[in-house]
Structure 1
Amino acid sequence: MTIDRKHTFGPEEIEARLKADLPHWRYEDGWIRRNYRTNSWKGTLMVINAVGHLAEAAWHHPDLTASYAWVEVRLMSHDAKGITVRDFALAQKIEEMVTWQPGLQADGPLEGTPQHDLRFSYLKYD
């Protein structure tokens, strides 16, 4: 079965997919959007770089808005002029990478950044 990468979804389909698969994302003004809260400019830059890496690797380019302690990611397939499977796929990858918390794995070798010490903590997890 071939995936139609330029098929655009209607508002009801978009809302249903977000609710089921990406609950922290929202549909607004023709974009799917997500705000990531950070603890500092350092965290903001780390989120931007992570999103940038994934977007470039996927050859799909989000719009970003950033400030000291937050980043907004907006996805819409410009060539299709709407929300496509590419937007949902990239949003899922962004969500997985940005919100990954290795410290939650009690028996894992990676401890994760200390959330209680703002010198090291960078993302405010939902």
Structure 2
Amino acid sequence: MHIIIIGSLNDLSSKLNIHKKYGENMTTEKTYSTEEIEQYLKANLQHWYFENGWIRRKFKTSGWKGTLMVINTVGHLSEAAWHHPDISASYGFVIVKLQNHAAKGITDKDFALAKKIEDVVQWNPTNEDNTLEGTPDDPRFKYIKYD
């Protein structure tokens, strides 16, 4: 494949929208106001909160094994969605922070991924009528502290 450039590189980059100035919004996605974000979280994601431009969630775990399992779960979902959070972790917790970097704010992508993360990490088969037993009720096997 050959690419033929007609005109200057600056002309091409402006036409292709690939040369943005630092700090410029790089998408046309709707970003939500603080009030809209807080209303959405209150109605749909009660364990998430809005702080310093990010929606956040702290998952408590029962130790390092649980922390790694949560990180890997969030990593898989984020990669599949192609929307990547910031993650902080310690022995007994994981903090997930979501913001649409290109939009420089909170968009529907953040809410959708937060909901998927919440549903998967908090899933507990013992709360459903099915054949899966869930983790034994023994501290040796616990890995996440359900809300």
Asked whether the two chains share a fold, i.e. TM above 0.5, the reply is yes
Is 1:125 the counterpart of 2:140? The answer is: no
- What letter corresponds to residue 11 of structure 1 in structure 2? T
Instruction: For structure 2, list consecutive stretches of 5 or more residues without a partner in the other structure.
Output: 1-26
Aligned-residue CA RMSD in angstroms?
1.2
Instruction: For structure 1, list consecutive stretches of 5 or more residues without a partner in the other structure.
Output: none
Secondary structure of 2:73's match?
A: helix
Q: Which runs of 4+ in 1 moved over 4 A?
A: none
Is 1:55 the counterpart of 2:86? The answer is: no
Q: What percent identity do the matched residue pairs reach?
A: 62
Secondary structure of 1:36's match?
A: strand
* Distance apart, 1:5 and its partner CA: 7.0
- What letter corresponds to residue 117 of structure 1 in structure 2? D
C-alpha separation in 1, matches of 2:91 and 2:34: 32
Deviations 1:4-61 (A, max 9, x none): 9721000000000000000000000000000000001000000000000000000000
- What letter corresponds to residue 139 of structure 2 in structure 1? L
- Select the structure with the greater relative contact order (CA < 8 A; seq sep ≥ 6): 1
Q: State the TM-score, normalized to the length of structure 1.
A: 0.93
Larger radius of gyration: 2
Q: Superposition pairs for residues 89-104 of structure 1, below 5 Å? A: 89-104=112-127
Number of residue-to-residue matches in the alignment: 121
Bigger proportion of residues as strand: 1
